[in-house]
Structures are given as C-alpha cells and as structure tokens.
Amino acid sequence: MELFQYPYMQRALIGALVIGLAAPALGIYLVQRRLALIGDGVGHVALTGVGAGLLLNRSPVLVAVIVATLGAIAIELVRARGRTSGDLALALLFYGGIAGGVLLVGLSDATSTNLNAYLFGSLTTIQVSDLITIAVLGAAILFTMVALRPALFAVSHDEEYARVSGLPVRTLNLLIAVTTAVTVTIAMRAVGVLLISALMVVPVATAQQVTRGFRSTMTAAMALGFFAAGAGVWVAATADTPPGASVVLVAIASFLVVAVAGGVWRALRRRATPTAALAPEPHEVVLH
C-alpha cells in the first residue's frame, strides 16, 4: 500500500479509475451495435496519430485524438453505407493505421520504448497535464453517454425505428464514433491501443450475464470497469506487473467468475423450480 504514497502511483490510480468508469459507458452502445471490436480498429488508427505526433514533435496524444476522430468518422460513414465492401474498407483502415504508426515512429527519433508505451500503456509515466486531459475528457464522455442514454439506446437498439422517430440518427452515430476516438486516445495511456477494446467491452459482457435491463447493465458495467481499474493498478503495484495488462486481466477474471457463478446459480434455480421449464410456449404455427 505504501507505494500509493508516491505521486506517480496516485496519478496512475486516478487515471485508471476515470478510464475504467468511462470506457464501459461508451462500450455498452458499441456492444449493442455488434461493434465490440471497433475500439480496436480506432486504436490502430490512433497509432498513426501517435507516430505523426512523435515525428513532428507535437503532443502524440493530441495528434492521436485528431487522427483517431477522422478514422472513426470514416469507419462510421462506411458502416452507414451498409455495403459488404465495408468489411474490406475497415481492414484497410485498421492495418493501414497500425503500419502507418509503426513506420512514422520508426522515422522519428523515438525509441521502441516510446512505441511500447502506446501499444501496451504506460500508466506510471502519466504527468499531471495528462491526468487533467484524462479527467476532463473522461467526464465529458461519461456525461454525454449517460445524459443521452434514451436516444443512444434507441439508435443502437433499432436504427430504423429511431429514424422514423425523427431522431438525428446520423448525428448520434457520429457522436458515438467521435466519443470512441476520444475514449481510445485517453485509454491509450492506461492500457495501450492493443488492449483498449477490453476495457470497453469486457465489463459490459460481464454485467449483461446477470442484469435484466439496459440501464442496470450500464451501471453494473461502469462499476465493474471502475473495480477492474482499481484492482488492476493495485495488483500491478504489489506484484510489480505491467498495469495495463493487470487491469485487463482483472476484468477478464471478473468475467469468468461471474460467468461460472451465474451458470451455477441458474442451474440451482432450475433444479429448485422444475415446473418452470415444463410449460412450453403454445405452437405458433401448424404445418400441413
């Protein structure tokens, strides 16, 4: 525990907690649209931004936000067209993004340590200015995702119905795309571009095994993300493991625990009330 007396550990903890809370608040909409891996794709694109930032001697995070936002908007426009070629377009964007990033970092004076910090996260090197960026953007993400929940839920749940309701569907979709880019770039410092999707998606996957509604899933996922971030940083500090990987592994461990516990609980309940399973639905159709 005494490790948390050091300011760099405190900064790491606060940064991780903010991201742990914000990432699932966005991730739930991505999971519902079956875009669970989109964060990964945007992360790849963000890496090009990091490379450009290092090469041009500008703030890598700032350039990454801009590049990732453009990438996320491009992905959303491809998705909205709904063509099968969208799949290939996404592949081009993803691999172009990561190859561009590696190339640009190679051209700059940066070492592979710099690249690793963005690929796998580097919580303990977070500066006060980074922390302020994370806190401000994290609060903005949280506020938007929670305040606009009814509309974002409607768009993610049934896009055609949302359109007939007169909702600004395209604006809301772009909002989710841009928020994804911002979340990816602030989470980049914590868990790295290669592990970002885990923080957005795994807490949601854990929560939805035991919840009944959208709102309760969102709340539980945020709580789980917060817990995984806190526990992961603590594990990293005590066992001297990489913080990003520790946070993600704690999140996955929670998923496994809840999955097993939920399965056992359901099995026990089925055994306790055997009649519940014996009342079948009436046949909806009869074939002659």
Partner 1 sequence: MSAPVITVEHGAVGYDGRPVLRDVSLTVTAGEVVAVLGANGSGKSTLIRAVLGLVPLSAGSVTLFDRPLRRFRQWERIGYVPQRLGAGGGVPATVREVVASGRLARRGVLRPPGAADRAAVDAALRSVGLADRASDPVATLSGGQQQRTLIARALAGQPELLVLDEPTAGVDAASQEAFAGALRDFVTDGGTVLLVAHELGPLRPVISRAIVVHQGGICHDGTVPDPAGHHAEPDHDHVHPHGPDEPAGLWSN
DSSP assignment, residue 37?
Answer: T
- Phi-psi category of 163—alpha, beta or left, where left has phi over 0 and alpha has psi -120 to 50? alpha
Cα 26 from Cα 184, distance rounded (Å): 10
Nearer to partner 1, 179 or 185 (CB): 179
Nearer to partner 1, 128 or 287 (CB): 287
- 283 counts as binding partner 1 under rule CB under 8 A: yes
The structure tokens listed for 271 are 């055994």
Binders in 181-240 for partner 1, by CB under 8 A: 204, 208, 211-215, 217
- 163 counts as binding partner 1 under rule CB under 8 A: yes
Residues 96, 86 contacting (CB under 8 angstroms): no
Binders in 138-157 for partner 1, by CB under 8 A: 147-148, 150-151, 153-154, 156-157
Cα 199 from Cα 245, distance rounded (Å): 11
Residues 155, 51 contacting (CB under 8 angstroms): no
Nearer to partner 1, 28 or 98 (CB): 28
Nearer to partner 1, 124 or 215 (CB): 215
- 281 counts as binding partner 1 under rule CB under 8 A: yes
Cα 44 from Cα 47, distance rounded (Å): 5
Query: Nearest approach, Cβ of 264 to partner 1 (angstroms)?
Result: 20
The span of 84-92, 125-133, 162-170, 237-245 binding partner 1 (CB under 8 A) equals: 162-170
Query: Nearest approach, Cβ of 32 to partner 1 (angstroms)?
Result: 4
Binders in 96-135 for partner 1, by CB under 8 A: none
Long-range contacts of 128-133 (CB under 8 A, 24+ apart): 128/11, 130/11, 130/15, 130/61, 130/189, 131/11, 131/14, 131/15, 133/61, 133/186
- For 227-249, give one letter per residue: b (16+ CB within 10 A) or e: bbbbbbbbbbbeeeebbbbbbbb
Query: Nearest approach, Cβ of 97 to partner 1 (angstroms)?
Result: 24
The span of 41-49, 58-66, 107-115, 163-171 binding partner 1 (CB under 8 A) equals: 163-171
Query: Nearest approach, Cβ of 84 to partner 1 (angstroms)?
Result: 12
Give how far Cα 188 sits from Cα of 42, 68, 163, Å: 11, 11, 34
Query: Nearest approach, Cβ of 39 to partner 1 (angstroms)?
Result: 14
List the x/- string, 244-273, binding to partner 1 by CB under 8 A. ------------------------------
Binders in 19-78 for partner 1, by CB under 8 A: 28, 31-36
Positions touching partner 1 (CB under 8 A) are 28, 31-36, 147-148, 150-151, 153-154, 156-158, 160-168, 172, 204, 208, 211-215, 217, 281-288
